[in-house]
Amino acid sequence: MSDNATAARRSAIYLLDQILGEGRLLSECLAAGALDRLGPEDRARAQRLALQTLRGLERADRLLDNHLNRTPALTVHNALRLGAVELCHGEAAHGVVNSMVEIVGRSRKHGRLKGLVNAVLRKVAAEGPDAWPKMRVPRLPEWLRGPLIMAWGAEAVASMEQAHFSGAPLDLTLKPGASGPGEALPTGSMRIQDPGQVSALPGFDQGDWWVQDAAAALPVRILAPKAGETVLDLCAAPGGKTLQLAAAGAKVTALDISDSRLERVRENLNRTGLKAQVIAGDALEHQGQYDAILLDAPCSATGTIRRHPDLPFAKDGSEFGGLIELQAQMLAHAWTLLKPGGRLVYCTCSLLPDEGEVQIEEALDQYPDMSIEHEALGVTGVDQSWITEEGGLRLRPDYWVDRGGMDGFYIACLNKSA
């Protein structure tokens, strides 16, 4: 057992404690420096272990429940969960068990439970790997499952859960004229199933491409920015869509309320050699007049659970009402910034109709100068069956299932009468 492997496991358990105990997102833990003590390889390993454990948490708990009389303290439970998941993914039993026994044994508070950890994990090592593939696909928590079944039906939600459990490949958006690694998807993105270290892929240093889910690349393809147009990217960070707008030759204003997240936009612009005016500010206070606007509004992010399996555990849906209200306010203000005859793409990486279809239905009722631009959805690779009644695009994680799915998104292109 290497010290590094144990260090990565200890950090993975810390992440699980934060996510499952404190309701913090993985991204928040990372921003707070949770893995700063580790080298790049162990940092990647700790994240991978935590995410893998969250994807398989329901199965791990079922296996562990057979051998636990009562639920142990959270951090010990998380060590057992991580151990169970690793064992069921084929990791060598002695390495996993010894590592978890060492980690728990060193804890001043829980050290006496190392015997329990040893005994339980040995039992899981004996029976878990056979049982694992026969267990049901882990389900979303009820606070999210219920509304999604109401919206899409039980069968669709089961398919989404399968997609969440499978995780996500890496998608890239190419700079116009550049080439990049991977398999070309129907919409033009490139897909790599097992990418390894992203910065080591060909073309990264040259800025030939950037990481962006294939679904997340569609809003800008639908907006179809033209060279020289003034385009406002109202919620820009970390900047995948800003890069697409800039690469099309538009004069881009990239605004976001979070200066720290805008740092990522600046880094991405530098690496790719693309240009945009970057502004830290509140979308609701911004002024100006633009030919086109992209409003990628803050949302529940429930469309990104394939990549962020921490989300259903860290959240409970209590902030959704506030987000839905904010989206409506942002759309109202963005509409005042759009020149007559201009177009606005509204999108959210959400699976909830209240953050997508319903927002646009209500806006179309409310604004006499707003209409849907149906032709905008005629983008290469867009399946006609994804088009919704009001004329938007509904993307789901269980679409393109044979290729590895896509993020859930809602996208609509709105025209302002001249």
Ligand X SMILES: C[S@@+](CC[C@H](N)C(=O)[O-])C[C@H]1O[C@@H](n2cnc3c(N)ncnc32)[C@H](O)[C@@H]1O
* Active site (catalytic) residues: 349
User: Of residues 237, 248, 314, 323, which one binds ligand X by CB under 6 A?
Assistant: 237
Q: Which among 58-66, 230-238, 362-370, 409-417 is the span making contact with ligand X, rule CB under 6 A? A: 230-238
Q: Is 123 annotated as a binding residue?
A: no
Residue whose entry in the numeric block shows the structure tokens 């060598």: 92
User: Of residues 46, 236, 323, 337, which one binds ligand X by CB under 6 A?
Assistant: 236
- The reply to whether 235 sits near ligand X by the rule CB under 6 A is yes
Tokens of 84: 């169970």
Range 100-105, long-range pairs (CB < 8 A, 24+ positions) = 100/9, 102/1, 102/6, 103/6, 103/9, 103/10, 103/13, 103/79, 104/76, 104/79
- The reply to whether 310 sits near ligand X by the rule CB under 6 A is no
Tokens of 338: 């759009």
- The reply to whether 257 sits near ligand X by the rule CB under 6 A is yes
Shorter beta-carbon distance to ligand X: residue 46 or 144: 144
- The reply to whether 408 sits near ligand X by the rule CB under 6 A is no
Shorter beta-carbon distance to ligand X: residue 63 or 144: 144
Shorter beta-carbon distance to ligand X: residue 4 or 260: 260
- The reply to whether 213 sits near ligand X by the rule CB under 6 A is no
- The reply to whether 172 sits near ligand X by the rule CB under 6 A is no
Q: Is 408 annotated as a binding residue?
A: no
- The reply to whether 256 sits near ligand X by the rule CB under 6 A is yes
CB atoms within 10 A of CB 228: 10
In whole angstroms, how far apart are CA 232 and each of 251, 277, 288, 331? 8, 10, 9, 13
DSSP, collapsed to helix, strand or coil, labels residue 348 as strand
DSSP, collapsed to helix, strand or coil, labels residue 184 as strand
The nearest distance, CB 301 to ligand X, in angstroms, is 7
Shorter beta-carbon distance to ligand X: residue 140 or 265: 265
- The reply to whether 280 sits near ligand X by the rule CB under 6 A is no
Q: Which parts of 132-233 fold into alpha helices (H)? A: 142-152, 154-166, 218-223
What number of chain residues touch ligand X (CB under 6 A)? Answer: 18
- The reply to whether 259 sits near ligand X by the rule CB under 6 A is no
Task: Return d(Cα 203, Cα 189) in angstroms, integer.
Answer: 15
Residue numbering of the annotated binding site: 235-241, 256, 296
